[in-house]
Each structure stands twice: as C-alpha cells, then as structure tokens.
Amino acid sequence: MKERIIVAMSGGVDSSVAAALLKEEDYEVIGMTMCFNLPDATGKRPACCGPQGIEDARRVCHKLGIKHYVVNMQKDLEKYVIKDFVYEYLRGRTPNPCVRCNQYLKFDILLKKAFSLDAKFLATGHYARIGKAQYSILNTQYYLLKKAKDKLKDQSYFLYRLDQKQLKHILFPLGNYAKDEIRNLARKFNLAVADKLGSQEICFLPDTDYRSFLKARIKKGIKPGFIVNMEGKILGRHKGIAFYTIGQRQGLGIAMGYPVYIVKIDPKNNQITVGKKEDAYKREFLVREASFILAPLKKKVAAKVRIRYNHKEAQAEIIPFEDKIKVKFKKSQFAITPGQSAVFYDKDIVLGGGIIDEERID
C-alpha cells in the first residue's frame, strides 16, 4: 500500500504545489483545509482559510485526483489564537498569531487529525527544511529545523516551537525550492491557482485592520492615556495602548520638530513614552516561554537572533536567566518589541526561541 500523507491546503499556490509534488512521488495524498468560518478578505490579498480558499483547495484536489476534507476549527482559532491576540494587545504587547496557529492548530490539532486517518505525515506549504542527524554515542536519530533554500521566503521563524515528536511526522516539500520555481511548477501541473496572490498575513483580519478588529471585540478595555517624553513630560494623548507598538512613528499626533518613535509602552500606567530614533535601540531583553528544538538551554551560547519576521538576524549571546532566557546583542537593535518572537539560529539551523517579555533589562 502507498504511504498516506495529509497535506494542509489553504487554497494557495504553495500548499497546492506541495500536494502535487507528493502525488508525483506516488504517495497517497489527502488534502485537508482548515475552516474558520471567516469572510473573504476585502483587500487584494486573499484570506488563506476563507470561502474562496476552501473552494480553490477543493478544485486543486479535484484536478490532482485526491480526496479533500474541510475541518472546522473556528473554536480552536478563537481559543488558541484570537483570545491571545486580543489579550496581548490590551497589555501593550504586539503578538504574532502565526506562531500560535502553527503551534496549536496546524502541528498539534491538525497533525492529530492526520494520525486519526492513519497518515504517517502532515505536509504543509511552508518554506523551511527538516534535516536529520545522528547521536554518535546513543546511536539514535534526531531532527533539525532548518531555513529554506529561498532565504527571502524562509518561514522557519514561525516554526520554532516544533519539537522532536512533531518534526518526525512533518514534511515541507517546498524547502528546497524558490518561489518562482513553485509558480512554474504550478503552471506545469496546470493548477488554477498558479498566479494567485499570496494570502494576507493574518487570516482573521479580513481588511488587515487590527485596530478595527480590537474595537469590535473590546468595548470598554481600551482607554486613552498620556504620551510622554523620555523625561516624563506630557506631550499629548494616545487612543489606547492596544493601538500602538514599539518603534512606531506614524499616527502619534505630536509635533516635536524632529521624528519621534515609541520607545516604551507602560500598561500599568496606560502610558506611552516617545523619543528619538536612537532611544528605540536596545541591546538586552528577556524571553519567556522559551522552546528549543533539541534540549533546554543549560549555559550561555552564541547565536544569531531574529526579533521579528522581517528583521535581519544579529549576533548575540543567549543566556539562561531564572525561568527565562536573556538575550544580549553584540550591537543594539531597533524596536525590540514585547509580544513578538525572538528566534535563535546557528547558521541555517533553528535552535529555538520564545516570546519577547521585556525590551530591556535595567
């Protein structure tokens, strides 16, 4: 019998080609699409799990001659992703919902559903790679999470919370391809989604406006407060800390004669501090909820650290610090933002990461 693989299909070109590649390798492929009962996006970029995405995934599966299932995960999205998204913004932090979606939905709940269908693997259209290595002493195999070949499309940043048990049953068929190669393959396989635009970053924001989303969800939790300078002098008022993020320059409504940036958000006092751009640079911060691919960190090590998806990783030391991890950059970095993920790399290998807890250590 052919080995069965479940492919998480969003209706986009990447997951569609992932399914086509595995079908070509003679696996028994089944497409599975998460449904969140969300409206389609109103902007140019489609929502990955909206009605159009589900229909596109169904059409691709029909073209490939494979089964297609739709799994309603609205309650799971609400419980594990949206609830945290709102909670973090209310406390002046800037969350990354894609990390939690991968951790709790795709590679936990969806992986278990794949097992329930007697599949050995769950495959996705992520641009990342999984490597294998051998413990010489124990003579056992372990798995590595690595960057994709296409460094501009690499998505390993969003996957750092995967562990050995999960990596053993995950496939990333696109890891060794560049994005333009994937589009060409989609045309070769005659897939209708070959020229479809990439999906928007946050699927549950149909108009990409997180502020409107928060307003609709929180009636009384968002309160105006003061904007102050580095010395504590009041410069103006903000509309609620949930609407702002570290490093933000636009929309502050303050005229200082020079550009000012948000350098601190204080949820306890409902206050935002602004300063010059150099004031938004920091060298040290703490990480909570640390997760490592192989084993917990026991001593200080040197690594490259990325503090947001589009940040160029920089040299740092990562150090065990009570129940957290301290990160100390060699050079100060701009807008280290609580709530975002800090991901640790050794060249192309993901060591692990965690949630930025404090942007500096006094």
SS3 112: helix
In eight-state DSSP terms, residue 151 is T
Catalytic residue among 49, 61, 98, 101: 101
Bridge pairing between strands 261-266 and 128-135: unpaired
Strand extents, DSSP E, 231-323: 234-238, 261-266, 271-275, 281-292, 301-306, 314-321
Catalytic residue among 48, 49, 98, 203: 203
The C-alpha atoms of residue 10 and residue 53 are separated, in whole angstroms, by: 6
C-alpha distances out from residue 164 to 130, 139, 151, 158, 241, Å: 11, 16, 24, 16, 38
Residue 61 designated active-site: no
Residues 6+ apart with CB under 8 A from 12: 46, 48, 53, 56, 125, 193, 196, 198, 199
Residue 101 designated active-site: yes
The C-alpha atoms of residue 11 and residue 52 are separated, in whole angstroms, by: 8
The token duo for 233 is: 């002098």
SS3 82: helix
- On whether the CB atoms of residues 346 and 303 are closer than 8 A, the answer is yes
Active site residues: 101, 203
